[in-house]
Amino acid sequence: MTSAAKRKLPLGIQSFRKVRETGCYYVDKTAYMKRLVDEGAHYFLSRPRRFGKSLFVDTLKELFEGAEPLFRGLAIHEAWDWSAQRPVIRLDFGGGAYRSPEGVKNSVAAQLDAIERAAGVQPRYETPPERFRHLIRALHEASGRRVAVLVDEYDKPILEALDDPERARANRDFLRGFYGTVKSADAHVRFSFFTGVSKFTRVSLFSDLNNLTDITLDASFANVCGYTEGDLDEVFAPELPGIDRERIRDWYNGYNWLGEERVYNPFDILLFFRTRQFRAHWFETGSPDFAVQMLKRRRVVVPSLDGLFGTGELLSKFDVENMAVEALLFQAGYMTITAQEEVGDEPLYRLGYPNREVRQSLNRGLLEALAPAETNHVGTAMRLRELLAANDFPGIEALFRAFFAGIPYEWHTRNDIARYEGYYASVFYSHFAAAGLDVATEDSSSRGRVDMAVRFEGRVYLFELKVVELTSSGSALEQLRDRDYAAKYRAGGEPVYLIGVEFSREERNVIAFEVAEG
C-alpha cells in the first residue's frame, strides 16, 4: 500500500476528461478497451445503474477522438495509435422524459441535432433511422475513417415506462428500428458499444442489430465495471486507514459476473469514503418499487429469493411482455451470481443477495409491501436485533405476535397477499434480513434443508416455519429435532438454538413458538 496523497473523489462525475484534469481518483479500465477494439467491433454490456458504465463509454469517446494527454500513465497509452483519430457518435438516454408519446423521439432528434451541428453535417432526411444512417455515412466520408457509435443507457426509455406497458412497447419498437441502423450502416462503422441496465431479447429489441457480442457474462470482462480489492489497495490507499475492511466487504462487495473475484459497487465505495458512514448509498438512489410490487403480485416467497436459479438464457430474457423475476432482480443489481454448476451441457447459475446493503434494504421495502404502511417496520427489525442479542426468546415471540395482531382485519380481507402460503414465512424472514442479520435460507446439510439459519454474535439460530392448516405432520420443533439439522453447526463449536414457529391462517398470527438448545 502506497503513501500517496489523497485525491478528489469522482462523485457523480461521468466525464473522463473531468476526472483526469481535476485530479480525481481513477481506476484504470483502459486495458479492457484495447482488448475490445482488437478482438471485435460490436458489443453490448449490461450492468446495474450507477456502476460506472457512463464513465466507461465517455472514456471510449475520448480514446477514439485521440485525446492522448488524458491517457498518459494508463495501460492503453503506449499501445494505442494516437494518430488514428475517429469520428464518434455518442448517444446518451440517461436523461430525458420518456413517458409521453414523443419523449424518446424528441430525445433522439435533439441529440442528432447537436452532433450534426458540431460536425457541420446537413440533415437530409426526416425519419430518425434515415437521418442516423446519413450522419454515420457523412462522418465516414468527411474524415476518411469509419465511425465509432457509443450508446449509453440504451434501455432507459423502456424501463422508465414499464408501469405503462403500451408506452413501453411503443418506445421499444421505435428504438428497435433506430438501433438497427448501426448494422445497416456497418460498412461505415468501425466500433459500436451499447450499455444499459437490462438486456432485452434479440427478438424484442435487437432483432435488427443481431451482430452484437454480449460481454455481460463474459468472465474475461467481468471486472470491466466495479472495483476489485486490488483497486482499493492500489488506487484508494489514502482513504483506507482506519477502515474496517471486513465490514466494508460485508456492506458493499459481492457482485459477480462469472469473474474470479467479486467486485464492489463503485457508487457505494465513493459515498462511503466521503461520509465514512455505512449506509445504503446505492439503494437509496434507486426506485425499487417496480421490483417490490412485481414480487408481491407474483406471490414470490421472500426467503426463496436467496437461492434462485437461472440459465444464462433466462437471466438475459427480459421484455415488456415477459419479465422473469430472476432476470429483473439480476439485471437491476438486487441479485448476483453466487455459484455456477453444470446441468448436462448447460451452465446453471445460483443467485443471491450481493451484500448486506441490498439484502437489508430490499427486505425493508418488501416489508412495507407485505404489511400495512402504518407499521414501524424499521423499528420492529431493530428491536428484533436487540432481543436476539439478549437471547430473549419470549420477547421475540411477543414481538411477532404483536406485529401480526396489529395488522387490521380489513387489510387481510382486502389483500389476497395475506392468504397465500408463503406470506407468513416472507414477513418473518424479511424482519431478520431488514435488521441486517446474517440469514441463510434452506441451508443444506446431510440431514436436509432447514428453513432459515441465522448467525449472530457467535450463535446459530435454526428456524423451522409451518402453517398448521397446511400440514398434519408433527410440530415444527419436532421436525428440527428429528432431522437433527443442528449436527452441521455443532461441529463448528457454536451454540445452536432450535426454534419452531407455527402460524395459523385462521387466527392470522403466530400460535406456537418453541425453543430448545441444539
Condensed to tens digits (0 to 9), the pLDDT of residues 101-118 reads 899 999 999 999 999 999
Is residue 226 over pLDDT 60? Answer: yes
What pLDDT, on a 0 to 100 scale, did the predictor assign at position 418?
Answer: 67
Task: Label residue 77 by pLDDT band (50, 70, 90).
Answer: very high
Q: Which amino acid is at 335?
A: M
The pTM of this model reads: 0.91
Whether residue 380 is contained in a domain is answered as: yes
What pLDDT, on a 0 to 100 scale, did the predictor assign at position 446?
Answer: 38
Task: Label residue 293 by pLDDT band (50, 70, 90).
Answer: confident
Cβ burial of 206 (10 Å; 0-12, 13-18, 19+) is: buried
Q: Which of 205, 221, 237 is the last residue of a domain?
A: 221
Based on the domain organization, do 305 and 160 belong to the same domain?
no
What pLDDT, on a 0 to 100 scale, did the predictor assign at position 2?
Answer: 45
Based on the domain organization, do 89 and 175 belong to the same domain?
yes
Task: Label residue 413 by pLDDT band (50, 70, 90).
Answer: low
Q: Which amino acid is at 152?
A: D
Q: What's the CATH number where 187 sits?
A: 3.40.50
- When the pLDDT of each residue in the chain is averaged and rounded to a whole number, the result is 90
What pLDDT, on a 0 to 100 scale, did the predictor assign at position 265?
Answer: 96
Based on the domain organization, do 420 and 361 belong to the same domain?
no
What pLDDT, on a 0 to 100 scale, did the predictor assign at position 201?
Answer: 62
Whether residue 237 is contained in a domain is answered as: no
DSSP state of 8: B
Q: Is 168 in contact with 320 (CB distance < 8 Å)?
A: yes
Based on the domain organization, do 191 and 317 belong to the same domain?
no
Q: Beta strands 346-352 and 309-311: pairing type?
A: antiparallel
Cα within 13 Å of Cα(5), Cβ side:
4
Is residue 312 over pLDDT 60? Answer: yes
- Helices then strands, each counted (H, E), the chain: 21, 13
Based on the domain organization, do 381 and 357 belong to the same domain?
no
Based on the domain organization, do 344 and 403 belong to the same domain?
no
CA distances from 316 to 213, 306, 440, 490 (A): 13, 19, 26, 41
Q: Which of 370, 401, 426 is the last residue of a domain?
A: 370
Give the closest residue to 7 by CA, choosing from 329, 274, 383, 336: 274
Q: Which amino acid is at 289?
A: D
Q: Which amino acid is at 154?
A: Y
Condensed to tens digits (0 to 9), the pLDDT of residues 439-492 reads 988 654 434 467 899 999 999 999 999 988 877 678 999 988 988 888 888 888
What pLDDT, on a 0 to 100 scale, did the predictor assign at position 420?
Answer: 73
Identify the domain containing residue 291 by its residue range: 287-370
Distance from C-alpha of 19 to C-alpha of 345, rounded to nearest angstrom: 45
Is residue 199 over pLDDT 90? Answer: no
Is residue 66 over pLDDT 90? Answer: yes
Q: How many domains does the chain have?
A: 3
Is residue 399 left, alpha or beta, with left meaning phi > 0 and alpha meaning psi from -120 to 50? alpha
Condensed to tens digits (0 to 9), the pLDDT of residues 128-144 reads 999 999 999 999 999 99
Query: Residues with Cβ < 8 Å from 15, sequence gap 6 or more?
Result: 55, 58
Whether residue 235 is contained in a domain is answered as: no
Whether residue 301 is contained in a domain is answered as: yes
Condensed to tens digits (0 to 9), the pLDDT of residues 147-161 reads 999 999 999 999 999
Span of 50-59, 68-77, 391-400, 478-487 with lowest mean pLDDT: 478-487
The four Cα atoms 80, 83, 89, 90 give a dihedral, to 10 degrees, of 40
- Average of pLDDT values for 344-364? 92
Distance from C-alpha of 75 to C-alpha of 174, rounded to nearest angstrom: 39
Measured from the Cβ of residue 398, the count of other Cβ atoms closer than 10 Å reads 14
Q: Which of 221, 239, 266 is the last residue of a domain?
A: 221
What are 341's three cell numbers?
A: 454448476
What pLDDT, on a 0 to 100 scale, did the predictor assign at position 374?
Answer: 63
What pLDDT, on a 0 to 100 scale, did the predictor assign at position 204?
Answer: 62
- Average of pLDDT values for 267-277? 97
What pLDDT, on a 0 to 100 scale, did the predictor assign at position 411?
Answer: 72
Whether residue 227 is contained in a domain is answered as: no
Is residue 184 over pLDDT 60? Answer: yes
Condensed to tens digits (0 to 9), the pLDDT of residues 314-342 reads 887 777 777 788 988 999 999 999 999 88
Query: Residues with Cβ < 8 Å from 39, sequence gap 6 or more?
Result: none
> What DSSP element (H or E) covers 497?
strand 496-504
Based on the domain organization, do 513 and 386 belong to the same domain?
yes
What pLDDT, on a 0 to 100 scale, did the predictor assign at position 375?
Answer: 67
Is residue 272 over pLDDT 90? Answer: yes
Based on the domain organization, do 96 and 55 belong to the same domain?
yes
What pLDDT, on a 0 to 100 scale, did the predictor assign at position 120?
Answer: 96
Q: Is the dihedral of CA 297, 318, 355, 94 positive or negative?
A: negative
Whether residue 138 is contained in a domain is answered as: yes
